Chains A and B, each alone.
Chain A
Amino acid sequence: MFTIGLFGVLTRRNAVGILLAIELMLNAVNINLVSFARFRGDLGGVVFALFAIAITVAEVAVGLAIVIVIFRVRKTVEADHLDLLRG
């Protein structure tokens, strides 16, 4: 799942699409954490996963807000066109 998400990040052109793929990656990590918690009897994994979810939600919210602002300014959300960091 993680690699699928990675693939999505690399290939999606739409910024929102990229964010969706990021979600996939984060979820994969959570699964990993919880399974570790289950198989080693350690509750820390679950707590960690809980925090991860919360943080992810915050991040998605802000990220989408940024996407919206970019859309307002540049009138596009296509990743190929967002090259202001070009050196």
Chain B
Amino acid sequence: MTGEAVAFGAVAVVLVAASLAVVLTRNLFHAVIYLAVALVATGVVFLLLESPFLFGVQLLLYAGGVVTLAVFAIMLTERLIGERLTQTNRFIANGAIVCAAVLAAVLGFLAGTPSGPLPAPTADATPAIGRALSGPFALPLELLGVLLVAALLGALHLARPDD
């Protein structure tokens, strides 16, 4: 068992546990915290997969930005205490079965495919990413910028107080 595998196993456990917590806790604030944990764990997975750049991005954007936004949203939409009674609705049984089935199916997929040899770990890919972004992927980059502007404008408009 390589060290990598062990590390991955540990992170995986944390990740799954945090995810379950996100969807199952009653308190929404707690759910956000658990989400943050899950996001960080995801970043660690990225690290294990030889993408430190992505790890950094994940931490910055997700664990920082998204979580903050979620907290703000919860605070703004929180009503009285009576709201928090049951956070799960009628689909528990159905949903559980369907999701379990999907899981089983996908795992079945994976079990079927042979896993090839592990290629050697490459050098740090960050400069390569940069070159890719300004090369073949330049257009998507620009479009992404447009998207971000649109999102910004949309959020601003929606957040306007009613005149």
Contacts and interface: CB of A to CB of B under 8 A. Distances in A.
A–B contact with Cβ pairs below 8 Å: the answer is yes
Interface of A: 1-8, 10-17, 19-21, 23-24, 27, 30-31, 34-35, 37-41, 43, 46-47, 49-51, 53-62, 64-69, 71-72, 75-80
Main secondary structure of the interface of A (DSSP, over half): helix
Contacts of B91: 10-11
A55 B62 CA distance: 11
A36 to B, nearest CB: 10
Contacts of A69: 158-159
A59 B151 contact: yes
B99 A17 contact: no
Given A21-B23, A66-B158, A34 B46 contact: yes
Contact of A68 (B77, B140, B147): B77
Contacts of B16: 1, 4
A78 B95 CA distance: 18
Given A4-B99, A39-B116, A55-B144, A23 B77 contact: no
Given A24-B38, A38-B49, A11 B88 contact: yes
Given A14-B83, A23-B66, A58-B151, 18 more contacts: A1-B15, A6-B98, A7-B23, A7-B95, A8-B22, A14-B28, A16-B73, A17-B87, A19-B70, A37-B51, A38-B51, A47-B137, A54-B144, A57-B61, A60-B69, A62-B151, A66-B158, A79-B89
18 contacts: A1-B38, A3-B102, A4-B20, A5-B19, A6-B99, A10-B94, A11-B91, A13-B87, A16-B77, A17-B28, A21-B22, A23-B39, A34-B54, A35-B49, A39-B119, A41-B119, A62-B158, A69-B158
B42 A11 contact: no
Interface of B: 15-16, 19-20, 22-23, 28, 31-32, 35, 38-39, 42, 45-46, 49-51, 53-54, 57-58, 61-62, 65-66, 69-70, 72-74, 76-77, 79, 83, 86-89, 91-92, 94-96, 98-100, 102-103, 106, 116, 118-119, 122, 125, 128-129, 132-133, 137, 140, 144, 147-148, 150-152, 154-155, 158-159, 162
Contacts of A46: 51, 53-54, 125, 129
